[in-house]
Amino acid sequence: MASNSQPTTTTGAGGRNGHGDKEEAEQTPPPPEEATTVGGGDGVQFVMPEDGYEWKKYGQKFIKNIQKNRSYFRCREQRCGAKKKVEWHPHDPSLNLRVVYDGAHQHGSPSAAGEEGGGGATANQYDLSTQYFGGGPRSH
């Protein structure tokens, strides 16, 4: 499969949006990190960061504030109020892909079905305050 030429997906090399608005809650999902190649045949194609959960796209919009496209995903589970937002540049998606997680999953991942942790609330144990996807402002 020579589709994904850039395995660097969740690497938001964009850092912060230099806007100054309210920060979003970004969490780093479980280990199951796959990449689903999405695209047409030729043209711009990028890999969507898969966290092992199932998402349903319910909207997409172009955020002019950051000059990026934003896709809105929602967890397939009604029991789960987890939401996911994916931002990417219309020209360099694989170079500026950013994933923002909102809320936490109240169920185990379908990929790891059968091996639930029991608690279930062990999903949102990350710092949803300043957790960035690799592109943290804490350049140090």
Stretch touching DNA by CB under 7 A, among 2-10, 66-74, 112-120, 129-137: 66-74
Applying CB under 7 A, the site for DNA has a residue count of 16
What's the one-letter identity of residue 25? A
The reply on whether position 60 binds DNA by CB under 7 A is: yes
Of the two residues 20 and 119, which places its CB atom closer to DNA in the complex?
20
The reply on whether position 77 binds DNA by CB under 7 A is: no
Phi first, then psi: what are they for 45, rounded to 5°?
-135, 145
The reply on whether position 56 binds DNA by CB under 7 A is: yes
Stretch touching DNA by CB under 7 A, among 55-63, 90-98, 109-117, 124-132: 55-63
Q: Which two tokens stand for residue 58?
A: 């319910």
The reply on whether position 107 binds DNA by CB under 7 A is: no
The reply on whether position 44 binds DNA by CB under 7 A is: no
CA atoms within 13 A on the CB side of 118: 0
How far from 46 is each of 73, 87, 91, 112, CA to CA, in Å? Answer: 17, 12, 11, 25
Which of these, 22, 34, 46, 20, lies nearest to 98 by C-alpha position? 46
Contacting positions for DNA (CB under 7 A): 56-61, 63-66, 70, 72, 74, 76, 83, 85
